[in-house]
Amino acid sequence: MGDRAINLNQQLNEIEGLFSSGHIKKAQKDLRKLNSQFGKGKPIPSKFRHKFQRLNFTAKEYDDWAEFATSDKRTELINEVNKLAAQKLEPRTLANKINSLQKQWQNLDQHGKTASKEKWSTFKDACEKAWAPCKDYFAVLEDRKEENRDKKLALLKDIESFPAGKTTENTTVIQIVMFLKGVHEKWKQYAPVPDKDFQDLNNKFKDARDGVNKLLEEVEVFNRSQKEAVISEVESLSKEDIDNSVARIRELQDHWRTLGPAGKKLDPEVNLKFETACDEFLKIKDKELDESRGLMDVIIKDLRDKKIAPGEAEQKFVELENLQGTAEEKKFKKAIKDFAMLQKNEKAQEKLKSYQDLFEELVDKGSEKISKDLIPEFVNGKPSESMDLNEAAIRFQMFAGLDPVGPKEMVSRVKFEELRNRFTEKSVDMGEKLREHFTNLVYSKGTSSKKESADVKKALVKALKKVEQLLP
């Protein structure tokens, strides 16, 4: 057997092996290539003719089976595309579904027999019909991409021009940070852009930001130099003249709050250094103040225990000179104010109690047996006619603005009289009215029963609490 025959036999065996191992597409391709070498004027060698025929028959069988296997699937894909055309889907969703069906069709072509021209034409027409709603959308999208590209180009100019005219003295970190935040947000908004411009725009955006970031670094370096200068001043203050040093530290602390950041990495270090330097002086001052604070606490305690008067307490505090203008001064003034309020309340309670005692004795014993030391100094002379205690109590209750407790007929009569008087009286002196009511009560006639007495006493005490502010 010649070399040519050996080679042909080897090729046929390889094709046969491809069919056997399932590499059908490769086997069919190699067989077609080999078949093309024979034909007009070049017959197949007789000894290989049978093998050629057998392999070609196998290839046709596989084509028939592929056509049978894929025919229903291709019909299904055509039906799916036709269904899409009838659905009102969002353009992007619709486009994705069409692309998915097209990929499935291509996959059938790759792994089976190519579809007939008729079937391919049907599928192609169905896809074009389904794609129609997407045309306008993607056309508009392309226009929008162009607009977004132009907006990004304009934004790049703004970023590039930002550092112009700005110095470390007239620019703050917050201004730069807010600017960068704003351009980042806008850059994300201006999307999408044409694919061909995407990478170039992003590269230019990075380059433009580099200029702004450089300015940011310069401002942070400037801020650090200012902060380090403040720290140096604190460290140079005298520990001998602690009062003046602490006063200056307070000023420098206020100034420190106006200084901008020195960078995320450096700021914590610089801030800690400043706080440490200040604390050295403040601890000395606090130690000096501890004794004065202790003395102030003693003064406040003596005041609360009524061992000293408010004026004496204030004089003693003034002598504690290093507490003037501190938080302790506020604490002391509050203690003085609280004490004055406490005294006022105590006096008011004592006064209220004395009048309550008067009412109780008046109701229990009657006006003739009242202890003279209980009668208020402001009570006028004895009236020409003594009023019934119930009536005096009713009038006193009405004076206090209460719905009076007492005999119904008497309540109705007194209410009518008071109403009539209200229209006739031009002006009312509340203090004078109060004295009048007290006079009527002190020189009134007693009640008739224990229950009535108890009710009157209760009503009078209630009214008394209402007119507490008018008591002399």
Q: Which distant-in-sequence residues (6+ apart) come within 8 Å of 82 by Cβ?
A: 126, 129, 130
Task: Tell me the per-residue pLDDT of 280-296, one tens digit each, with 9 for 90 and over.
Answer: 888 877 776 777 777 77
In 237-266, alpha helices (H): 242-258
Q: Is residue 438 scored above 70 in pLDDT?
A: yes
Condensed to tens digits (0 to 9), the pLDDT of residues 116-147 reads 777 788 888 887 787 777 776 766 667 788 88
Backbone angles phi, psi at 378, to 5 degrees: -80, -5
Is this prediction's pTM over 0.85?
no
* The pLDDT of residue 369: 75
Please give the DSSP secondary-structure letter assigned to residue 37: T
The SS3 call for residue 302 is: helix
At residue 68, the pLDDT reads 47
| Predicted pLDDT at 22 | 67
Find the DSSP H helices in 87-116.
Answer: 91-111
- pLDDT grade, residue 303 (50/70/90)? confident
Q: What is the pLDDT of residue 426?
A: 65
- The angle subtended at Cα 329 by Cα 328 and Cα 334, nearest 5°, is 95
Position 199 scores a pLDDT of: 92
173 by Cβ neighbours in 10 Å (0-12 / 13-18 / 19+) ranks as middle
Does the pLDDT of residue 472 top 80, yes or no?
no
Lowest mean pLDDT among 145-159, 192-206, 332-346: 332-346
Q: What is the pLDDT of residues 231-289, one digit of tens each?
A: 999 889 888 888 788 889 889 899 988 888 888 888 888 889 989 988 888 887 777 67
**C-alpha span between 286 and 289 (Å, rounded):** 5
Name the residue with higher pLDDT: 19 or 30: 30
Where do we find the tokens 């392999």? Answer: 55
* Angstrom distance (rounded) from CA 68 to CA 223: 80
Q: What is the pLDDT of residue 6?
A: 66
d(CA 35, CA 96): 42
Q: Identify whether the C-beta of residue 468 lies closer than 8 Å to the C-beta of residue 355.
A: no
* Largest separation between any pair of C-alpha atoms in the chain: 165
Instruction: State both tokens at 195.
Output: 């694919």
* Residue among 168, 273, 275, 176 at smallest CA distance from 223: 168
Percentage above 70 pLDDT, the chain: 88
The arithmetic mean of pLDDT across residues 386-403, rounded, is 87
